[in-house]
Structure 1
Amino acid sequence: MKFDLHNHHDRCGHAEGTIEDYIQAAIREKLDVIGISDHSPFFASSEEHPYPRITMAKGEFPVYIEEIRQLKEKYINDIEVLIGVESDYFPNQEKPYRLQYDNYPMDYVIGSVHFVNGINIFDTSRWDGMDDADIRQVKEEYYRQIMLSAKSGMFDILGHIDALKGYFPYAAEIDTPKVDEALRVIGQEGTAIEINTSGKTKYCGGWYPSDDLLERALYYSVPVTFGSDAHVPERIGEDLEEVQKRLKQIGYRSWRFFRQRRPVDVYL
């Protein structure tokens, strides 16, 4: 079974194409399942749309859900369409996000950490003037937030768990026990992590997470899933077969997708 659970579209302000474009691309790629998962609004903000180039506006969220629901019916004989979202995670701001996701017929929610100490992880200027100790502090805070996101119980999937290296590959070389601590908690909570093939589009190259992290994730019994994190329809399902092969080599025997917030395990 072939599936892709992570993608975006023009509603978030930094991707191309409509939801239907991504569904049609998934059909062309002969996927069995396509999950729609654009960036959620900043529900904890007092503003309607504080980051127009990052996420959709608050008022767009019910429209987004309804559009997926209608397309799910339209393409019911061609592909299974799942209702999802990629949600930012902010410690101490869980309640407004939880209330929204509990109010809609979600199949899954991806939890991603994009901000550490108030700065976006993809902002290359954040590293200016930092030494190894400073970088380690940022990395430890990043994994602390990932650990808390797993403990929150809000998410079925954790997104790109080593994306800190995306535009700063050196971050991957900074060692800290917080990485294993986070993986252990993720395994205990039973939250899935995604193999996200968009890392190849960043300075780091390759996928998120690295093979080393995947080996450690397997040790801690962390389940896995797949997402291309496509921002253009042409990337839907990208490298899916290669990821399957790599996971088998590492020792995984299955991966999963979700229906109505329940995991569906599929043999690799």
Structure 2
Amino acid sequence: MHLMKWDGHVHSPYCPHGTKDSLEAYIEHALLQGLERISFTEHAPLPEGLTDPAPDNDSGMSFATAERYIEELKTLRETYKNDIEIRIGMEFDYWENDVDGTRDIIARYGPELTDGILSLHYLWIEDRYYMVDFSKESFGEIVTTLGSVTAAHERYYEGIQALVMTDLGKHQPKRLGHLTLPTKFIQAYPLESNPANLDDTLRKIRQADFTLDVNTAGLRKPLCGLSYPYPELLQVTQSLSIPLVYGSDAHLAKDVGADFDMKW
């Protein structure tokens, strides 16, 4: 059986918080890595009327930028059609307090895309969004608000369960980004105990027929050193027959295909 060499989670110069490496640089590095397919999954625009929780308002593309992103990738897909399969995708955020807005953004861009990821970066707690992976300090705010590191992780998995069990329309991506994102700061915020709802979360992911992003970015984060999901959890996903797609989550060209030789 041929396993396609594919990076399913790649960003671009259109990322407001990434590098300005050209799309061609990402593609050329993919070719150097021997990849047969690359999925560009830039952060989708935010729903209209939603205030960006990030301090620099850089969580997603603007509407104008998104159109340019799609058009440039269509051109490059044609240019490189004999060398590599280029998928045009977006990474959509699941906005817990604006599910209708989430659905609208997916409906707006879904018809033009050939790939996509659904991710949870923000938790709506009480009356505002908290940032899960923005910084050690921002994650610490969640821990302080909820009372423990374990509670912060469990709250995240509650959000993941809602994400996979919510109907977001016919263009809804069925691949879940970086399942264990709260472990990004695990060395600063070690777990007191295993999240009680993690096994149930995996069952719901399987029940909803989602694929998981095996995201290698955590291996390159100084307070993490683990893939998302981490190796022990990947063994569980295999026992549940949850399909997996490797993703570098590259925000610069040289990280395309990075750490795909990890052992688990």
Are the equivalent residues in 2 in contact too, given 1:11–1:55 (CA < 8 A)?
no
Normalised to the residue count of structure 1, the TM-score between the two structures is 0.82
Q: Which amino acid aligns with 1:175?
A: N
- Of 257, 260, 264, the residue aligned with 1:237 is 257
1:42-191 matches, within 5 Å, as 42-46=46-50, 51-103=56-108, 104-116=111-123, 117=125, 118-122=129-133, 123-125=135-137, 126-127=139-140, 130=144, 133-153=147-167, 154-169=172-187, 170-172=189-191, 174-191=193-210
Report the Cα offset of residue 11 of structure 1. 1.7
**RMSD between superposed Cα atoms in Å:** 2.4
Report the Cα offset of residue 90 of structure 1. 1.5
Q: C-alpha separation between the residues in 2 aligned to 1:191 and 1:97?
A: 18
Unaligned runs of 5+ in 2: none
Report the Cα offset of residue 186 of structure 1. 0.2
- Of 9, 13, 17, the residue aligned with 1:14 is 17
Q: Per the alignment, do residues 196 and 236 of structure 1 end up closer, same or farther by CA in structure 2, a change over 3 Å counting? A: same
Are the equivalent residues in 2 in contact too, given 1:6–1:229 (CA < 8 A)?
yes
Q: Per the alignment, do residues 85 and 162 of structure 1 end up closer, same or farther by CA in structure 2, a change over 3 Å counting? A: same
Are the equivalent residues in 2 in contact too, given 1:114–1:120 (CA < 8 A)?
yes
Report the Cα offset of residue 225 of structure 1. 0.7
Are the equivalent residues in 2 in contact too, given 1:147–1:182 (CA < 8 A)?
yes
Q: How many residues align?
A: 244
Q: C-alpha separation between the residues in 2 aligned to 1:205 and 1:172?
A: 15
1:24 paired to 2:21: no
Q: C-alpha separation between the residues in 2 aligned to 1:207 and 1:173?
A: 20
Q: Which amino acid aligns with 2:31?
A: I
Amino-acid identity (%): 29
Are the equivalent residues in 2 in contact too, given 1:44–1:97 (CA < 8 A)?
no
Are the equivalent residues in 2 in contact too, given 1:19–1:36 (CA < 8 A)?
no
Are the equivalent residues in 2 in contact too, given 1:5–1:35 (CA < 8 A)?
yes
Unaligned runs of 5+ in 1: 247-268
Report the Cα offset of residue 150 of structure 1. 1.2
Q: Per the alignment, do residues 188 and 223 of structure 1 end up closer, same or farther by CA in structure 2, a change over 3 Å counting? A: same
Report the Cα offset of residue 133 of structure 1. 4.5
Q: Per the alignment, do residues 94 and 171 of structure 1 end up closer, same or farther by CA in structure 2, a change over 3 Å counting? A: farther
Q: C-alpha separation between the residues in 2 aligned to 1:209 and 1:48?
A: 27
Q: Per the alignment, do residues 142 and 72 of structure 1 end up closer, same or farther by CA in structure 2, a change over 3 Å counting? A: same
Normalised to the residue count of structure 2, the TM-score between the two structures is 0.83
